[in-house]
Amino acid sequence: MGHAEIQKVLVVLSDEGNLTVKTEGKSSLYWTVQASEDMSALQNAMELLTATKADLRSTLDTLNLQVHQGESAKRSVAMEPTDTDLLLRLVELKSLVSSLSDSSNEIEGKLLMLKVREQETEGVRDTDALQCEFKFFKRCWNENKRNVNRVLESVIDGCGETKESLIEVIGLIMDEEII
């Protein structure tokens, strides 16, 4: 016998009063009339199972939300630089600042030499050419100074230090301190 034939027989027996039927969603339970006492216990068990199912689904939803929140937090933490990353960046920036400082010192020396030459050769050399050369080296000096300040600002953004404390850690001497 197939499922459909068995279903028809069960419906007929139910209609005749030989079986009692209880339908839950798409499922139907059939039992003999003398087993109605047992059916009451089964109904209670079915209600308990339905409530447990709802509780488990709620717990599962809560756990899925917690997993999602944990993954978001993990991605957020993974995107933040570590102390090692910041230290490596600081070492790179110290090297860059040192290089820029050397360049600035070289330009400052050239500026001083130009001033000396200008004083020594007053009237001998065209003052317009000296002024042009002086302005060029001054622009280079100012550009290097801006680069150093940009580097400092970048480091400050990454590590949360003040400009003064960072200058002290790096060992940089700014021209404001010399004057």
In this model, does residue 146 exceed pLDDT 70?
yes
In this model, does residue 157 exceed pLDDT 60?
yes
Question: What does pTM read for this prediction?
Answer: 0.33
Closest among 157, 154, 158, 115 to 137, alpha carbons compared: 115
pLDDT at site 143: 85
Token duo for residue 14: 């139910």
Q: What is the DSSP letter of 125?
A: S
Closest among 21, 79, 17 to 7, alpha carbons compared: 21
Mean pLDDT is lowest, of 67-71, 146-150, 162-166, for: 162-166
pLDDT at site 178: 47
Instruction: Judge contact between 22 and 28, C-beta under 8 A.
Output: yes
Token duo for residue 103: 């360049």
First to last CA, the chain: 106
Mean pLDDT of the chain: 76
Mean pLDDT is lowest, of 93-102, 121-130, 133-142, for: 121-130
Rounded to whole angstroms, how far apart are CA atoms 55 and 3? 33
**Strand locations in the chain (E):** 19-24, 27-32
Token duo for residue 80: 């933040």
When the candidates are 1.20.120, 1.10.10, 2.30.30, 1.10.3470, the CATH number that belongs to 3-76 is 1.10.10
Token duo for residue 79: 């995107």
Token duo for residue 54: 């709802």
What lies within 8 Å, CB to CB, of 110 at 6+ separation is: 137
Closest among 30, 32, 27 to 11, alpha carbons compared: 30
